[in-house]
Protein backbone atom coordinates (compact mmCIF):
# COMPACT_ATOMS: atom_id res chain seq x y z
CA UNK A 1 0.00 0.00 0.00
CA UNK A 2 1.34 3.41 -0.94
CA UNK A 3 1.92 5.77 1.97
CA UNK A 4 0.49 8.81 0.21
CA UNK A 5 -2.60 7.34 -1.42
CA UNK A 6 -6.13 8.32 -0.45
CA UNK A 7 -6.65 4.86 1.04
CA UNK A 8 -3.51 5.11 3.18
CA UNK A 9 -4.23 8.62 4.45
CA UNK A 10 -7.88 7.90 5.27
CA UNK A 11 -6.92 4.64 6.99
CA UNK A 12 -4.29 6.42 9.06
CA UNK A 13 -6.59 9.29 10.07
CA UNK A 14 -9.46 6.94 10.88
CA UNK A 15 -7.27 4.78 13.12
CA UNK A 16 -5.92 7.85 14.91
CA UNK A 17 -9.50 8.93 15.52
CA UNK A 18 -10.48 5.47 16.74
CA UNK A 19 -7.63 5.64 19.24
CA UNK A 20 -9.06 8.94 20.50
CA UNK A 21 -12.76 8.08 20.77
CA UNK A 22 -12.46 4.49 21.99
CA UNK A 23 -14.51 1.35 21.23
CA UNK A 24 -17.95 2.51 22.39
CA UNK A 25 -18.39 5.74 20.41
CA UNK A 26 -21.41 6.01 18.10
CA UNK A 27 -21.10 6.09 14.32
CA UNK A 28 -23.35 7.00 11.41
CA UNK A 29 -23.78 3.29 10.66
CA UNK A 30 -27.09 2.47 12.31
CA UNK A 31 -26.60 0.32 15.40
CA UNK A 32 -22.82 0.24 15.10
CA UNK A 33 -20.31 1.51 17.63
CA UNK A 34 -16.72 2.19 16.65
CA UNK A 35 -15.90 -1.36 17.75
CA UNK A 36 -18.45 -2.75 15.28
CA UNK A 37 -17.08 -0.52 12.52
CA UNK A 38 -13.50 -1.61 13.14
CA UNK A 39 -14.55 -5.27 13.14
CA UNK A 40 -16.35 -4.74 9.83
CA UNK A 41 -13.17 -3.35 8.26
CA UNK A 42 -11.04 -6.23 9.54
CA UNK A 43 -13.47 -8.86 8.24
CA UNK A 44 -13.86 -7.06 4.92
CA UNK A 45 -10.13 -7.12 4.26
CA UNK A 46 -8.98 -10.28 5.99
CA UNK A 47 -11.81 -12.80 5.73
CA UNK A 48 -13.13 -12.71 2.16
CA UNK A 49 -15.43 -15.72 2.52
CA UNK A 50 -17.10 -14.24 5.60
CA UNK A 51 -17.18 -10.74 4.07
CA UNK A 52 -19.20 -11.97 1.09
CA UNK A 53 -22.41 -11.24 3.01
CA UNK A 54 -21.76 -7.52 2.64
CA UNK A 55 -22.88 -7.80 -0.97
CA UNK A 56 -24.75 -11.14 -0.95
CA UNK A 57 -27.78 -11.13 1.38
CA UNK A 58 -27.97 -14.94 1.70
CA UNK A 59 -24.53 -14.83 3.35
CA UNK A 60 -25.31 -11.91 5.65
CA UNK A 61 -25.56 -14.12 8.75
CA UNK A 62 -22.10 -15.54 8.12
CA UNK A 63 -20.71 -12.01 7.86
CA UNK A 64 -22.50 -10.91 11.02
CA UNK A 65 -21.08 -13.86 12.99
CA UNK A 66 -17.57 -13.12 11.75
CA UNK A 67 -17.89 -9.46 12.72
CA UNK A 68 -19.19 -10.33 16.19
CA UNK A 69 -16.30 -12.70 16.88
CA UNK A 70 -13.77 -10.20 15.52
CA UNK A 71 -15.25 -7.42 17.65
CA UNK A 72 -14.41 -9.42 20.79
CA UNK A 73 -10.69 -8.77 20.31
CA UNK A 74 -9.05 -6.24 22.65
CA UNK A 75 -9.59 -2.73 21.34
CA UNK A 76 -5.91 -1.81 20.76
CA UNK A 77 -5.42 -5.07 18.84
CA UNK A 78 -8.53 -4.44 16.75
CA UNK A 79 -7.43 -0.93 15.79
CA UNK A 80 -3.94 -2.22 14.94
CA UNK A 81 -5.47 -4.79 12.60
CA UNK A 82 -7.24 -1.99 10.77
CA UNK A 83 -4.11 0.18 10.79
CA UNK A 84 -1.86 -2.57 9.41
CA UNK A 85 -4.14 -3.16 6.45
CA UNK A 86 -5.13 -6.32 4.59
CA UNK A 87 -3.02 -9.49 4.58
CA UNK A 88 -0.56 -9.87 1.71
CA UNK A 89 -2.90 -12.25 -0.10
CA UNK A 90 -5.99 -10.06 0.11
CA UNK A 91 -7.63 -8.75 -3.06
CA UNK A 92 -7.60 -5.36 -1.37
CA UNK A 93 -3.82 -5.30 -1.85
CA UNK A 94 -3.87 -6.11 -5.54
CA UNK A 95 -2.82 -3.02 -7.44
CA UNK A 96 -4.59 0.28 -8.14
CA UNK A 97 -8.10 -1.17 -7.99
CA UNK A 98 -7.70 -2.27 -4.38
CA UNK A 99 -6.31 1.14 -3.49
CA UNK A 100 -9.22 2.94 -5.16
CA UNK A 101 -11.89 0.80 -3.52
CA UNK A 102 -10.22 1.17 -0.14
CA UNK A 103 -9.88 4.91 -0.65
CA UNK A 104 -13.61 5.48 -0.94
CA UNK A 105 -14.43 2.90 1.75
CA UNK A 106 -12.12 4.43 4.33
CA UNK A 107 -13.18 7.96 3.45
CA UNK A 108 -16.83 7.10 4.12
CA UNK A 109 -16.11 5.28 7.37
CA UNK A 110 -13.78 8.05 8.54
CA UNK A 111 -16.70 10.46 8.11
CA UNK A 112 -18.99 7.94 9.84
CA UNK A 113 -16.99 8.59 13.00
CA UNK A 114 -16.26 12.30 12.40
CA UNK A 115 -19.82 13.43 11.72
CA UNK A 116 -21.63 11.97 14.72
CA UNK A 117 -23.49 14.43 16.93
CA UNK A 118 -23.34 18.19 16.90
CA UNK A 119 -20.39 20.43 16.25
CA UNK A 120 -18.62 18.51 13.52
CA UNK A 121 -17.08 20.52 10.71
CA UNK A 122 -16.44 19.74 7.10
CA UNK A 123 -12.78 19.06 6.40
CA UNK A 124 -10.73 21.58 4.43
CA UNK A 125 -10.93 21.20 0.66
CA UNK A 126 -8.40 18.81 -0.84
CA UNK A 127 -8.37 18.79 -4.67
CA UNK A 128 -6.49 15.50 -4.85
CA UNK A 129 -8.93 13.76 -2.51
CA UNK A 130 -11.86 15.20 -4.46
CA UNK A 131 -10.55 13.97 -7.81
CA UNK A 132 -9.75 10.50 -6.51
CA UNK A 133 -13.20 10.13 -4.97
CA UNK A 134 -14.91 11.39 -8.12
CA UNK A 135 -12.99 8.95 -10.31
CA UNK A 136 -14.17 5.99 -8.22
CA UNK A 137 -17.68 7.30 -7.57
CA UNK A 138 -18.27 7.77 -11.30
CA UNK A 139 -17.79 4.04 -11.73
CA UNK A 140 -19.80 2.97 -8.68
CA UNK A 141 -22.70 5.43 -8.92
CA UNK A 142 -25.02 3.12 -10.83
CA UNK A 143 -24.56 0.42 -8.22
CA UNK A 144 -25.07 2.85 -5.33
CA UNK A 145 -28.33 4.18 -6.74
CA UNK A 146 -29.67 0.94 -8.18
CA UNK A 147 -32.71 1.00 -5.86
CA UNK A 148 -33.74 4.57 -6.68
CA UNK A 149 -37.26 4.84 -8.13
CA UNK A 150 -36.22 7.98 -10.05
CA UNK A 151 -33.31 8.93 -12.24
CA UNK A 152 -30.26 10.40 -10.51
CA UNK A 153 -27.65 12.83 -11.84
CA UNK A 154 -24.61 13.73 -9.75
CA UNK A 155 -23.24 17.21 -10.41
CA UNK A 156 -20.12 18.87 -9.09
CA UNK A 157 -20.03 22.64 -8.44
CA UNK A 158 -18.03 23.11 -11.67
CA UNK A 159 -20.86 21.52 -13.68
CA UNK A 160 -19.24 18.13 -14.25
CA UNK A 161 -21.93 15.47 -14.23
CA UNK A 162 -22.34 11.73 -13.90
CA UNK A 163 -25.61 9.94 -14.66
CA UNK A 164 -26.06 7.51 -11.78
CA UNK A 165 -29.46 6.21 -12.88
CA UNK A 166 -31.57 6.86 -15.94
CA UNK A 167 -35.24 7.64 -15.53
CA UNK A 168 -38.10 9.58 -17.07
CA UNK A 169 -38.05 11.77 -13.97
CA UNK A 170 -34.75 12.66 -12.36
CA UNK A 171 -33.24 14.35 -9.34
CA UNK A 172 -29.94 16.19 -9.60
CA UNK A 173 -27.67 15.90 -6.57
CA UNK A 174 -25.23 18.81 -6.41
CA UNK A 175 -22.16 18.92 -4.19
CA UNK A 176 -18.45 18.36 -3.89
CA UNK A 177 -17.15 14.88 -4.70
CA UNK A 178 -16.79 14.23 -0.97
CA UNK A 179 -20.41 15.10 -0.22
CA UNK A 180 -21.69 13.29 -3.33
CA UNK A 181 -19.83 10.20 -2.19
CA UNK A 182 -21.49 10.32 1.21
CA UNK A 183 -24.92 10.79 -0.36
CA UNK A 184 -24.34 7.87 -2.71
CA UNK A 185 -23.49 5.74 0.33
CA UNK A 186 -26.73 6.72 2.04
CA UNK A 187 -25.43 9.17 4.63
CA UNK A 188 -28.06 11.71 5.66
CA UNK A 189 -25.30 14.05 6.83
CA UNK A 190 -24.08 14.61 3.27
CA UNK A 191 -24.09 18.33 2.49
CA UNK A 192 -25.73 18.33 -0.93
CA UNK A 193 -28.35 20.33 -2.81
CA UNK A 194 -31.18 18.21 -4.22
CA UNK A 195 -32.82 19.65 -7.35
CA UNK A 196 -36.03 18.31 -8.82
CA UNK A 197 -39.68 17.76 -8.04
CA UNK A 198 -40.16 17.61 -4.24
CA UNK A 199 -41.96 14.28 -4.49
CA UNK A 200 -39.16 12.80 -6.59
CA UNK A 201 -36.59 14.11 -4.11
CA UNK A 202 -38.43 12.45 -1.25
CA UNK A 203 -38.64 9.17 -3.13
CA UNK A 204 -34.91 9.27 -3.74
CA UNK A 205 -34.15 10.09 -0.12
CA UNK A 206 -36.38 7.25 1.07
CA UNK A 207 -34.71 4.70 -1.17
CA UNK A 208 -31.79 2.52 -0.19
CA UNK A 209 -28.41 3.82 -1.34
CA UNK A 210 -24.93 2.36 -1.31
CA UNK A 211 -24.18 -1.35 -1.02
pLDDT tens-digit readout, 130-143: 999 999 999 999 99
pLDDT band of 85, cuts 50, 70, 90:
confident
Least Cα distance to 5 among 89, 107, 121, 78 occurs for: 107
What structural domains and CATH numbers belong to the chain?
6-114 (no CATH), 141-206 (3.30.1050)
pLDDT of residue 71: 93
Whole-number pLDDT of residue 101: 85
- Determine the average pLDDT of the residues in 115-136: 95
Residue 2 confidence (pLDDT) above 60: no
How confident is the model at residue 53, as a pLDDT? 42
Which whole number is the average pLDDT over 111-136? Answer: 95
pLDDT given for residue 60 in this prediction: 61
Residues 6 or more apart from 96 whose CB is under 8 A from it?
none
pLDDT at 203 over 90: yes
- pLDDT band of 91, cuts 50, 70, 90: low
**pLDDT value of residue 36:** 95
Mean pLDDT of 18-23: 98
Is there a contact between 132 and 105 (Cβ–Cβ < 8 Å)? no
Q: In this predicted structure, which of 42-51, 70-79, 98-107, 181-190 has the lowest mean pLDDT?
A: 42-51
Q: Do the strands 151-155 and 170-174 form a parallel or antiparallel pair, or are they unpaired?
A: parallel
> Percent of the chain having pLDDT more than 90?
73
Confidence (pLDDT) at 51? 46
Give residue 45's pLDDT.
84
pLDDT at 208 over 80: yes
pLDDT of 96 higher than 80? no
Average pLDDT of span 6-23 = 96
Instruction: Give the per-residue pLDDT at 124.
Output: 95
What is the average pLDDT score of the chain? 89
Per-residue pLDDT reduced to its tens digit, 56-65: 565 567 667 8
Amino acid sequence: MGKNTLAASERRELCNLLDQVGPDAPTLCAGWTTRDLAAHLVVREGRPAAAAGILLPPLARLTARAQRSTAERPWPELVDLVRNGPPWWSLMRLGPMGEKINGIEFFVHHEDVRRVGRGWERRAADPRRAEELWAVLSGLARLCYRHSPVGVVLRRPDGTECVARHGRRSVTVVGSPEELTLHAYGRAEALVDLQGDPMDIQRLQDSRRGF
